[in-house]
Structure 1
Amino acid sequence: MSILFSALPLLSIDSWSIPLLIIVAFVGGGILLQYTFRKQLPDELQNMGKIENSHIFQLNREIRYSIFTGLIQGGTIHVLSYILMKTSYDLRMVKMYGWIFGFSQPFLLNFGYYLLYLNQQNEYLKKETQSFQQLSKVTEKKTLQDLVSPHFLFNSLNTVASITLDEPKKAVEFVKKLSDLYDFILQNNENQLIELKEEVEIVEKYCFLIQTRFGENFQMELNIPARYYHSLIPPLALQNLVENAAKHNAVTKKRPLRLTIGVHRDFITIVNNINPKNTFQNESTNLGLNYVRTQFEQFTNKKISIEKSDNQFKVHIPIIYPGDI
């Protein structure tokens, strides 16, 4: 390269006018040819059948095309410089520069094209990743809503129907708390975290609905000190665990369900006695626990732990403080 640049002064400003015009014309022509080539290339690639072969085909085609274009441009500059330029010019240097520009232009253009292509692909993948994350969050929220909605709503309507005549005031209160629960779901559909105080309030309303249905056969003790109320928790995390306990255990006079929620060493602990049902175990238990686990993993390194014995089931979920995120 040093030899090439040291040779530049051999040609005067006037002597550069004709070869410069020739080089500019054919470089522009090469760009136009490559643009036309690229415009037709995607349709051909779509007919290749296999994506993995398409990339190899495109690379081989680009290399062959660059060499072919370089030969045409370099050869044409070589011939035209010989025909158009005066014999006093240094044709050897002009021809050499013609071959250099003729071959380098297609490869440099391809290199620039692939840099632009990679940048566009990177931006596209970023947008796709963001879209996937948003869709994943919406799907997770939808899954939790589905866990709360169908069977629970059906049972709640049956409960209202059964108490309306004998206990109209309690029926009105039941409907009000049921409405508050679903309003809470709608209001927090897009929220990833809420204050623990809000979650405690909705759990109390939810437990009222369960107790109205089962009476004294369902007992819940909530012991969360007020100093933890400003900590954070994914919406419906506690409610979902309470629902799992009520859904997957027998709740009868002979086998009442007892549930305790408390705090121990920066973990909220949900404990219930085990009253196995004599029915096929629904896999939605794992679905609910997996949802809660996934939500917490986004905001804390502390893990959810589960302890199960013959007669007791415990879930420990970490407390998330505002300074932790």
Structure 2
Amino acid sequence: MYKAYQIKWCLIVAGVFAISTLFLRQGSFRVEVQLWEYCDYVLRLSFYMIVCWMIHAYFLLNKISYLSSWGKLILSNLIAIVIMVFLGTLFYRILPRNHFIDPIVPALNFSNLLHSFFGGFILSVICYSAFYSIHTNSALQTSKLENEILEQAHLRAQLLSLQQQISPHFLFNSLSTLNAIAPDQHTKNYIVQLAAVYRYVLNFNEHYLTPLKDELLFIKSYLYIMNQRFDKALEVTIDISEENLKLMIPPLSLQLLVENAINHNMFTLQQPLHIIIKTDNSPALIVENDHRPKKVIGGSTGSGTGLKNISERYRLLGNTTINVSDEGGKFCVTLPLLPNERIAKMTGYK
């Protein structure tokens, strides 16, 4: 709360404004005015500004569904002004008489009411403008920092998937040659799917996000290769609703989850590994698999680096989190599907 409400800047702005107005008033220092009255003036005005600051901070920091930006601006200022007038009247009645000047004149008649309203308006506008400027600048700095962290997370993800990368031109030329000399269609199909997998991994270098439709095309090529290795010991069901295909996910996140399921679980032809890839109305992508961890020395089948990387990328992209559950012999990971326009514009995805 201290950082979000910019308490340090609140105290600085309130103190500077109260002291500066004390010296700027004509005839401020008079013989009949005692020292405590000057201090009383500074404390009162500082208190008014702190109250205004907290009101505006609450409205600007919290999402209120029924209020637009302009609605927040108007409502927060009206509430702040009313409270200023009320506090001015209250302090005038309960505190000792200040011969210097009361920061806000009590609303005892129309003229005083108008004067109090105008004074509260000035304080409210100053506090709103100051907090808005500081908050916007802080948010901009945070955004820049998160973009840098996102870039680092993106590079780490590349390292996870491209540790053995060789020259793409050499590889594709070799695959084309191998496809031309392959003796049967089954081998040709395998080569085509392998090329599709590698091409997608290379394109992943350029973007933070990819449409779910493209990720599914990639995962089908990846599963074709895995099925040639494991045959019927690997059973994958894909159930994706049409309306979710244009939504976005971090590239290779689905492949990492499928790869984790294959690498960390025991399965045979007699006891195949079932993987379900589906979507819900959240909208979210759900990857669920049988949980039969491999028995290894040390009691762990992996460091969880892949899941940590996916989680970090989601946090930086949309301030969202993934959900991981391990219940009833099923391991399930839920990835939020991100809105195309807003996130793609933010990350520069094309």
Q: TM-score normalized by structure 2?
A: 0.48
Q: Does the C-alpha gap of structure 1 residues 133 and 227 become closer, same or farther in structure 2, counting only changes over 3 Å?
A: closer
Q: Does the C-alpha gap of structure 1 residues 218 and 324 become closer, same or farther in structure 2, counting only changes over 3 Å?
A: same
Q: CA deviation at 1:304?
A: 0.6
Matches of 2:158 and 2:317, distance apart in 1: 16
Q: CA deviation at 1:205?
A: 0.9
Q: Which amino acid aligns with 1:258?
A: H
* Residues 1:286 and 2:304 are matched in the alignment: yes
* Residues 1:273 and 2:290 are matched in the alignment: yes
- Give deviations 1:185-213, integer Å, cap 9, x for gaps: 11121210111100010011111111111
- Is the CA contact (8 Å cut-off) linking 1:300 and 1:324 kept in structure 2? no
Structure whose residues are more often helix by fraction: 1
Matches of 2:195 and 2:287, distance apart in 1: 25
Q: Which amino acid aligns with 2:195?
A: S
Tell me the residue number matched to 2:327.
309
* Residues 1:198 and 2:214 are matched in the alignment: yes
Q: Which amino acid aligns with 2:233?
A: N
Tell me the residue number matched to 2:241.
225
2:236 counterpart SS class = strand
- Give deviations 1:43-67, integer Å, cap 9, x for gaps: xxxxxxxxxxxxxxxxxxxxxxxxx
Q: CA deviation at 1:267?
A: 1.4
Q: Does the C-alpha gap of structure 1 residues 320 and 176 become closer, same or farther in structure 2, counting only changes over 3 Å?
A: same
Unmatched tracts of structure 1, length 5 or more: 1-125, 150-163
* Residues 1:186 and 2:213 are matched in the alignment: no
Larger Rg: 1 or 2? 1
Q: CA deviation at 1:244?
A: 0.6
Q: TM-score normalized by structure 1?
A: 0.51
* Residues 1:235 and 2:251 are matched in the alignment: yes
* Residues 1:141 and 2:158 are matched in the alignment: yes
1:313 counterpart SS class = strand
Unmatched tracts of structure 2, length 5 or more: 1-142, 167-180, 344-350
Q: Does the C-alpha gap of structure 1 residues 131 and 245 become closer, same or farther in structure 2, counting only changes over 3 Å?
A: closer
Correspondence 1:115-194 to 2 at 5 A: 134-146=151-163, 168-194=184-210
Count of residue correspondences: 186
Identity %: 23
- Is the CA contact (8 Å cut-off) linking 2:147 and 2:316 kept in structure 1? no
2:206 counterpart SS class = coil
Q: CA deviation at 1:147?
A: 9.2
Matches of 2:158 and 2:316, distance apart in 1: 14
Q: Which amino acid aligns with 1:271?
A: E
- Is the CA contact (8 Å cut-off) linking 1:144 and 1:291 kept in structure 2? no
Matches of 1:195 and 1:320, distance apart in 2: 9
Q: Which amino acid aligns with 1:181?
A: V
Q: Does the C-alpha gap of structure 1 residues 132 and 297 become closer, same or farther in structure 2, counting only changes over 3 Å?
A: closer
Tell me the residue number matched to 2:114.
none
Q: Does the C-alpha gap of structure 1 residues 271 and 127 become closer, same or farther in structure 2, counting only changes over 3 Å?
A: closer
Matches of 2:337 and 2:145, distance apart in 1: 32
Matches of 2:261 and 2:165, distance apart in 1: 13
Tell me the residue number matched to 1:245.
261
